[in-house]
Amino acid sequence: MNENRAAFYDTVRHSLFSGNLTQKQVDGMEALLTAISPFSVCEQAYMLATAYHETARTMQPIAEIGKGAGRKYGTWLTNSNGVCYCHAHGDKKRKPVVYTETDYPHLYYGRGYVQLTWLENYLRAGKELGSVLTDAGQLAREPKLAMRPDIAAMIMCFGMRDGWFTGRKLSDYIRGDQADYVNARRIINGTDKAQAIAAYARKFEAALRAMN
């Protein structure tokens, strides 16, 4: 590990991880640091804080508790012809779109550092991932790939940059060194735990600046 990364880990070990880091936490942060490297320090800090919160400090991708049970993206339905189908998107402003179990034999419940749900979002993420996958449809065919740290980190970056999760995006709240870490929570989930995540972001920002 180079000196710059060592300074980062020395800082977060004490400020965010109670003095101890597991290898899995380090591995997860390595994947995240690689994926977020093109972004500004404040954007990086907020993405790390989001992953820290969403994964309950494990820094490893997680699957949605209950695997979407009771939700439209996590429930197979059956039509009058006995064909199993599921809803492909959750946009109430659009006409419903469904897919059959024959087309895609998976339910697209939340997976990753930030929970990616719905078939259409897996297809969109697959297109963004480019050369990381064999083709644009691979993520939809193999949704478990969203649990791979490098892929999960890239999905989080694209989604937060482009507003996949709520329509809000990083640039709405963070520009250069000007960061509204509290309201940036709206990128993911309204104002849920916004103050706590903002505090994590400030600590990650200090650690990132310790690398420079």
Question: Which pLDDT value is given to residue 146?
Answer: 98
pLDDT digits (tens, 9 = 90+) for 159-186: 999 999 999 999 999 999 999 999 999 9
Q: What is the pTM of this model?
A: 0.93
Question: Which pLDDT value is given to residue 212?
Answer: 75
Q: How many domains does the chain have?
A: 2
Whether residues 74 and 103 fall in one domain: yes
Whether residues 135 and 180 fall in one domain: no
Domain boundary pick from 145, 170, 186:
145
Whether residues 78 and 112 fall in one domain: yes
Domain boundary pick from 117, 145, 173:
145
Question: Which pLDDT value is given to residue 24?
Answer: 98
Whether residues 83 and 55 fall in one domain: no
Task: Report the C-alpha dihedral over residues 9, 11, 12, 14, rounded to 10 degrees.
Answer: 120
Question: Which pLDDT value is given to residue 2?
Answer: 65
Question: Which pLDDT value is given to residue 3?
Answer: 65
Within 10 Å of residue 163's Cβ, how many Cβ atoms? 14
Q: How far apart are CA 60 and CA 174, in angstroms?
A: 25
Domain boundary pick from 94, 118, 145:
145
Whether residues 80 and 106 fall in one domain: yes
Point out the residues of the chain with pLDDT beneath 70. Answer: 1-3
The domain of 157 spans: 3-61+148-210
